[in-house]
Amino acid sequence: MSAFHHQAAEIVSELDATVARVSTDEVENTLNALMTANTIFVIGVGREGLAAKGFAMRLAHLGLRVHWAWDDTTPAVTADDALLMVNGPGNIGHLDYVFDRVREVGATTIVVSALAGARTPGMADVTLIVPATVYRGKGDLVPSIQPMGSLFEQATLLVFDTLILQLIERLGIHSYAELAPRHRNFE
């Protein structure tokens, strides 16, 4: 086996170990919060923010009302809404600020993080812990051969894609062809 294939196999093994530790109760709570929200606001920063942005797009393809929180056309959040925040270490200053403003309004807060005891996941209405090595995070996390928070970002994307499959079932979508008309048609 080449070094490339060996390293790729190790990354897949890390992802398997991480996803195996994701709580099904937390998944269920996250799905329920998403299904009951009037509008879902999604936020994240950096590379983990890219996973969050992809999740926002997939939620929109399901027909849910979704806004990427950093977009200038994003409306005000209300108490009937939910904020899904990806905050790997659970204490990123400007995300903490957004979290506090959304809590003041009374919206449901969902935090995806590696560290349950960190600031925002510790205060969230719903937490979804993805226990992978994350940049600036220490705790009982799946270790990685990869730099910084790569494993957390990859595992979060995998968890999000699995949540989409779960939502497809709950929404009664019978064919992926039902999603296509909601995809941007001016690419």
pLDDT for position 175: 86
pLDDT for position 137: 67
Domain that holds residue 147: 21-168
What gap in Å lies between CA 148 and CA 60, rounded to an integer? 30
What gap in Å lies between CA 168 and CA 163, rounded to an integer? 9
The CATH number linked to 101 is 3.40.50.10490
In degrees, rounded to 5, the angle at the alpha carbon of residue 117 between the alpha carbons of residues 100 and 26 is 85
SS (H, E, C) 102-125: HHHHCCEEEEEECCCCCHHHHHCC
Residue 133, in any domain of the structure? yes
What gap in Å lies between CA 17 and CA 107, rounded to an integer? 33
Residue 113, in any domain of the structure? yes
Cβ-contact 42, 91 below 8 angstroms: no
The 40-43 sheet, strands edge to edge: 66-68, 40-43, 82-86, 108-113, 126-129
Residue 73, in any domain of the structure? yes
Residue 11, in any domain of the structure? no
pLDDT for position 156: 98
pLDDT for position 176: 86
pLDDT for position 67: 98
pLDDT for position 73: 94
Residue type, 75: P
Q: Tens of pLDDT along 96-142?
A: 999 999 999 999 999 999 999 999 999 999 999 999 988 766 788 99
Q: Tens of pLDDT along 63-101?
A: 999 999 999 999 999 999 999 999 999 998 999 999 999
Q: Tens of pLDDT along 21-67?
A: 999 999 999 999 999 999 999 999 999 999 999 999 999 999 999 99
What gap in Å lies between CA 180 and CA 122, rounded to an integer? 37
Per-residue pLDDT, averaged over 145-160, amounts to 96
Residue 2, in any domain of the structure? no
Alpha helices, DSSP H, located in 21-171: 24-36, 46-61, 93-105, 119-123, 150-170
What gap in Å lies between CA 122 and CA 16, rounded to an integer? 25
- Please state the domain count of the chain: 1
Residue 122, in any domain of the structure? yes
Residue 12, in any domain of the structure? no
Residue 180, in any domain of the structure? no
Residue with tokens 């709580």: 23
